[in-house]
Amino acid sequence: MIELSWPQVSARRLERAGLGAGRAAEGPEGVVAAMCGAHAQVMSAAEASIGLRLDGVTRAHVREALWGGRSLVKTHGPRGTVHLLPARDLPMWVSAMSSVPAAYNTTPPSRRMTPEQTDQVVAAIREVLATAEMTIDELSEAVVAATGPWAGELVMPAFQGWWPRWRQAMSVAAHRGAFVFGPVRGRKVTYTAAPEAPPVTDGLGALVTSYLTAYGPATPDQFAQWAGGPVKWAAAAFGSAALEEVLFEGKRAWVVAGDTAVPEEPPRGVRLLPYFDAYVVAGRPRELLYPGPAAARALAGGQAGNFPVLLVDGIVSGVWHQRRSGSKIDVTVEPLRDLTAAQLRELDEQVERVGEVMEGRPRLTIGPVTVGAHA
């Protein structure tokens, strides 16, 4: 059995994530495919995640790929969170995510939807958005009209108010391909029909392959945590895919069959990764990616992504934050280790690149980051 070390796996993942010495050349959709989706709950962070992996790409190029050329789509991805995904891969994602078994429902019985009601809502969303872009209020009115008053009952606690019952099915509807996000109308989010494409029958197997290509070696437990499904479901997916068992730091893990190559050189370089970057969200084991003080400083209750991180030679070595005022971008970086002169020069280059991607004028300050974790 092939044995792989953390430095070997770290270098391999960095290279495949577009964070190695070279840069990806496939454009935004190719980079997002290699990342297995770009987390887009914070849209500016998604733009930075993609742009920092490509030479000459700014947030304007990412927005054009999403809203102009439509080579990207915005929808609910792994864990039900909002992601940018390649439009070409959407059928795979729909097949894979719709196969996730329903989690235990903790909603009080009086507020729940039955499986039949969920099916009605998903069908209604698909139908009313087939030829339209709607805000959430417009969509709510159309769904209630198509299903019945029960769908509009205000039973879901939401911020300082209540949402209608039907909104419990939003993530399910997205995972079944009933909608994607549309362009913002003023300050309002819109929803629209997913691009037409032939369905995929074994999207889950394809997603396991994509995930392991990017973040392997990994285990079914780790895939389940990343995707937001139960371990039994993930184990069955691993069992039906063409995989190869390896030893990773002395523990059993899996890669795509035959895909055991690693770079000859150990991981090198300084990188700035924004909130919820796919690399750190998927990166495990946490204790190797976030060694020593990095775990206490850059993880939030064990969860990755709540802090933008400084990556040095493949491990989390600090946190950072950017504050924008007009075209000025103040970047504060808090290293958790001493940086060499060469690494400080690389950090300067990364800050300049952040400015290019976000179309602003950056200024670097090295010191404490006082902003807390993002929720």
CA–CA dist 199, 94 (Å, integer): 8
Cα–Cα dist 192/177, whole Å:
11
In this predicted structure, the answer to whether residue 24 has a pLDDT above a threshold of 70 is no
Dihedral sign for Cα atoms in the order 356, 359, 361, 364:
negative
Closest CA to 82 of 283, 276, 222: 276
* CA separation for the pair 144, 170 (Å, rounded): 14
What's the pLDDT score for residue 25? 61
DSSP 56-75: T--HHHHHIIIIIS--EEEE
CA distance 235 to 224: 8
- List pLDDT tens digits, range 117-168: 999 999 999 999 999 999 999 999 999 999 999 999 999 998 889 999 999 9
pLDDT for 288: 97
298-338 residue pLDDT tens: 999 999 999 999 999 999 999 999 999 999 999 999 999 99
Token duo for residue 176:
């079944």
Chain centre to alpha carbon of residue 136: 23
* Percent of the chain residues topping a pLDDT of 90: 94
Six-digit token string for 203: 């999207």
The pLDDT of residue 209 is above 90: yes
pLDDT bin (cut points 50, 70, 90) of residue 54 is very high
The radius of gyration of the chain's CA atoms, rounded to the nearest angstrom, is 21
The rounded distance, in Å, linking the Cα atoms of 343 and 288 is: 21
- Domains of the chain and CATH, by start: 102-173 (no CATH), 280-366 (3.40.630)
Token pair of 204 as six digits: 């889950």
Name the average pLDDT for the chain: 96
